[in-house]
Structure 1
Amino acid sequence: MTPKINNEVKQLQLSGIRQFFNRIQGIDDMISLTIGQPDFATPEHIKKAAIQAIQNNYTSYTHNAGFLELREAISHFMKIKYELEYNPANEIIVTNGASQAIDTALRTVLNPGDEVLLPSPVYPGYAPIISQCGAKAVFVNTTNLNFKLTADLLRDHLTPATSCIILPYPSNPTGVSLDKTELQAIADLAVQHDLIVIADEIYSELVYDQPHVSIGTMIKDRTIVINGLSKSHAMTGWRIGVLLAPEWLAKECIKVHQYNVSCASSVSQMAAFAAYTAGINDAFPMREEYAKRRAITGQHLRRLGFRTIEPDGAFYFLAGIPSSLSSFDFAVKAAEEARVGMVPGTAFDPNGEGFVRISYACSQDSLNEAFSRLELFLQK
């Protein structure tokens, strides 16, 4: 019997991140600067809310979009934090993590043959979904513009098939963000060419020098905002994401969401309610610690000859390597010889060649030890 498999699925490959991990798996005494999640514990009051939900048997299906009180809390949070205004009754959907929100958004707006513009290097979770929709991901190289996607760059890649722009800022893997002026230029372009914008703002609470600005405040009528609690409240395993969209878009997104997962975990939703209410500022102490680690990491990188662009948010540097080796070979040798794990830039698209992603979501002691090891490694 010949298995019948979707052709788009058959063409998918393991992510470059996973391929790299498979290569270095089993190395002892590794200091990992690869981690893409907070190294803090979920705040106690959030865990207690989940325990209480279980004890009260809050373990049934909720409304497809999430229980209303949670959506009201999310609406308040987004208004207070980012001046985003979304009706909790019909413009907010609670999802199983931001990843499912991205999947829902793309499956809702894309048709076969559409083209989606996104910055490169970029998180590798978008392109596979785009291809499964029969659409095409168009990677816009930002390496010569401090990793910033600009309206001029986008304009150079527009075709009659372009239907959507993805704005993942603050960025994984670069940590770079866009300011109000830069976003407004992109907003004007989207209006001019009748494009949908998907703004992945999962790192919006982890910004350091300037407040986060959402393009949803500029062109709400054509923007889907993605957010969630994984990074801001150290809740990666709880799987709570948020999709915010104008009613005309949200009513289509809820159909995709409903037939995909029905609803997010009821217990996790109760934990999320605590996060968005009593825990509205839970990210602040984590952000302060990340800022200290950003300074330590940047100092070490520059001292060792890495090329750096200062990140505005998240907890990553995408650093240019001081070596003629390929990114993959450099990362493998650093793992094998220095026992320091870094993600090769090519895991985030070929435009990442020459870079490695370094996460500072680990202790200051671990960072200092990792760079001591890298210094000895580079001296060789």
Structure 2
Amino acid sequence: MTLRTPVQTRSKLPDVGTTIFTVIGQLSAEHNAINLSQGAPNFSCDAGLIAGVTRAMQEGHNQYAAMTGLRTLKERIADKIATLYGTRYDVDREVLITASASEGLYSAISGLVHPGDEVIYFEPSFDSYAPIVRLQGATPVAIKLTVPDFKVNWDEVSAAITPRTRMIIVNSPHNPSGQVFSKEDLAHLARLTSNTDIVILSDEVYEHVVFDGEPHHGMATHPELAQRSVIISSFGKTYHVTGWRVGYCVAPYELMEEICKVHQFLMFSADTPMQYAFAEHMNDPQTWLSLAPFYQRKRDLLQTLLAESPFRLLPSAGSFFLLADYSHFSDESDSELVKRLIVEYGVATIPLSAFYTDGTDNKLIRLSFAKDEATLRAGAQALCRVKPR
């Protein structure tokens, strides 16, 4: 029996309901579909991490951590960023451990964006950006990346900037397209934001998953952009433990001060035992330096396995994802095709239209290669059987 309330509700997100992600999840469970949809690994993390968490618990590290996080872990992060990207953050004032990258995104947007502000972001996009902006009484301004290369049209960005623009959200490596920012992109962004009060919120959760020997061009690699950027990253994505929900945020002190005001009332602190384990694990730089070749092998395997499929694969320069084009063999909407793949072929993918607020359909689906080899082979085998319609 469902309880009924006499309370009249007034939704802050009246257009948010059941999404295609929910539909796909339910269909996938019903048909026991092979999961190439979710951007979460289905293989185990390093056993040393689990041992580290267990040891931390047994040693009594089970109460609240400091609000901004375990200092040893923050030191490891600051050292890593300085070594890789050349920017040194103050451990005590400019590094924050968050209860997931998602919490970092929320705290940053909530702390720095005000009612009446405008926030530029790029579609297709991670689905939380626009709703978080709207919850602040601000206006999300979507700019579509060009298709099929998924690049930023910086002339469009220039035209979209107004006196109300408070923030620009960027994401590289990019979910869902797998594309990455270049040095030229950073130069354009620096030019457009120079001498403004615009904050850059940079979602860099796949920072260590950049392929083909290319470097990660994050905001910390550009001194001018680093001065106005909030950078978000994820231990879950880096160490194959997305369910542990621990991330981090770095930013200049004046920005971080406002982010911490939200964080302290939203979460106060991230999980303590996990922080001890991550601090210990980060003693070895190979724990992140090995990620790019590790995932590149998975990308290459899936590309090879799908060579005889009817799909045309778009290049993937980073992240856990690649896109597959089916426009040459079907007129189905991407949502219809994804449902058919589950029901008729037993494999789950994601329609790219789910990453657009207006449901733009470019006849592309997203595949995740953050899976073990058996799953990739089974999923590719199913996709190779797909018949045109």
Please report the TM-score for the alignment, with normalisation by the length of structure 2: 0.91
> After the TM superposition, which residues 275-354 of structure 1 pair with which residues of structure 2 at under 5 Å, given as runs?
275-278=281-284, 280-301=285-306, 303-322=308-327, 323-349=330-356, 350-354=359-363
1:362 aligned onto 2:371: yes
The one-letter amino acid of 1:317's match is L
Which region of structure 1 is more displaced relative to structure 2, 206-215 or 301-310?
301-310
Q: How many residues align?
A: 378
1:131 deviates by 1.1
Does the CA-based 8 Å contact 1:91-1:247 persist in structure 2? yes
Whole-angstrom distance in 2 between the partners of 1:137 and 1:15: 19
Match of 1:17 in 2: 21
Segments of structure 2 that go 5 or more residues without pairing to the other structure are none
1:176 aligned onto 2:179: yes
Segments of structure 1 that go 5 or more residues without pairing to the other structure are none
Whole-angstrom distance in 2 between the partners of 1:48 and 1:6: 47
The root-mean-square deviation of aligned C-alpha atoms, in Å, is 2.0
1:90-123 Cα deviation digits (max 9, x unpaired): 0011000100000000001111122211111111
Whole-angstrom distance in 2 between the partners of 1:365 and 1:47: 24
Structure 2 SS opposite 1:90: coil
Does the CA-based 8 Å contact 1:121-1:352 persist in structure 2? no
Percent of aligned pairs with the same residue?
26
Which region of structure 1 is more displaced relative to structure 2, 364-373 or 234-243?
364-373
Q: What is the aligned counterpart of 2:267 among 244, 258, 261?
A: 261
1:285 deviates by 4.3
Which region of structure 1 is more displaced relative to structure 2, 186-195 or 284-293?
284-293
Please report the TM-score for the alignment, with normalisation by the length of structure 1: 0.93
Does the CA-based 8 Å contact 2:86-2:220 persist in structure 1? no
Q: What is the aligned counterpart of 2:383 among 354, 357, 374?
A: 374
1:215 aligned onto 2:219: yes
Shift of the 150–275 alpha-carbon distance from structure 1 to 2, 3 Å rule, reads farther
Does the CA-based 8 Å contact 1:86-1:92 persist in structure 2? yes
Structure 2 SS opposite 1:84: coil
Does the CA-based 8 Å contact 1:75-1:88 persist in structure 2? yes
1:239 deviates by 1.5
Shift of the 151–229 alpha-carbon distance from structure 1 to 2, 3 Å rule, reads same
Q: What is the aligned counterpart of 1:243 among 245, 249, 253?
A: 249
1:288-312 Cα deviation digits (max 9, x unpaired): 2321221232345554343433111
Whole-angstrom distance in 2 between the partners of 1:6 and 1:273: 44
Q: What is the aligned counterpart of 2:40 among 25, 37, 40?
A: 37
1:78 aligned onto 2:76: no
Match of 1:229 in 2: 235
Whole-angstrom distance in 2 between the partners of 1:234 and 1:375: 28
1:213-246 Cα deviation digits (max 9, x unpaired): 2123322221000012111111212211101010
Does the CA-based 8 Å contact 1:45-1:274 persist in structure 2? no
Structure 2 SS opposite 1:351: coil
Whole-angstrom distance in 2 between the partners of 1:234 and 1:261: 23
1:337 deviates by 0.3
Match of 2:117 in 1: 114
Whole-angstrom distance in 2 between the partners of 1:10 and 1:176: 32
Does the CA-based 8 Å contact 1:34-1:342 persist in structure 2? yes
